[in-house]
Structure 1
Amino acid sequence: CFETLRKYRLREKIEEAFKDTKNRLDGTRTRVWDGDTLKGRMFCQFVGLGYQCFLHTKIKELKEKLELSLSDKKLAEKDKDQNADLLKWLKKQSMQSLIDWFDCIELTSLRSDNGTVKQRSGETKRDRLFFTLLGIPGFDETPQNQLKVSP
């Protein structure tokens, strides 16, 4: 019963998020020529909101997981500090501020005589830990600025 009530209350959040997304994507005035294009545009916005709700659920699960890991006595002190910092940061962030935070990260390829170096800008250890714990591949053991060198 409580889970049903919680999901029902999410409806308001979904409608509010849909309105915000519509405004951000210049959807206040739909500049389309036919109904199929309008339906496609609205469908894409709806799918984006579905992903946002999925991400919100995953972050909530991650917070719970981090809280449990902090009570684990076997966890190394360094890992406890990193997990505590990540949890503290996540508790302060709204979903929109998280999305805005990671919006600035860019992947750049630099070519030189030695090969191609791919660099990721605006990334911290906390960001890599966040992505690793979410299960996103490619962030687990890479150095901060250098991803891959290919000849």
Structure 2
Amino acid sequence: MSFFANSCQELLAEIAGLEKQRDELEVQLKKVNISLAAVVGRLNKTREERDQFDEASNQIVLHLKTKISSSPKFKGVDSPKSSPPVVQISSSPKSRGVYSPKSSPRIADEILDPESEIAKLEMEFGKVGRDYSTDEIGGWEFDELEQEVGAYK
């Protein structure tokens, strides 16, 4: 009978060890499930934010396209009002090497007023957290383009 008693005790010890291992694994599984749920939640939130951003971007692009297509300032880009400048070539030695295009006078409404453009954009899209002064904006690279264009006036 001692053989059966020893065998039963060994089996009971093995069962106790396996139950303890099962309990530890269940605790680990709960932790993994909690972590998994948190990560899935973050993924869903990120996807939702991306979708909202894409939708807002598309609305802005659509708004700008409709504004550009209806604005007389930008219609000139698609269909130019005047022909390109004509270069007059003279055979006198004084004028050799000089480029002098015939230029038409610029229309006053074609000249951009940076402050009014900023005010329009703020009215449409809201004011951004930072307020840029005219001096700060003056250093931006777009002014280099305006200076180049101004040199040809």
TM-score > 0.5 by shorter chain: no
Please indicate the TM-score interval, normalised by the length of the shorter structure.
0.3 to 0.5
TM-score for the superposition, normalised by structure 1:
0.32
More strand by share: 1
Larger Rg: 2
More helix by share: 2
- Ranked by relative contact order (alpha carbons within 8 Å, sequence separation 6 or more), the top structure is 1
TM-score for the superposition, normalised by structure 2:
0.32
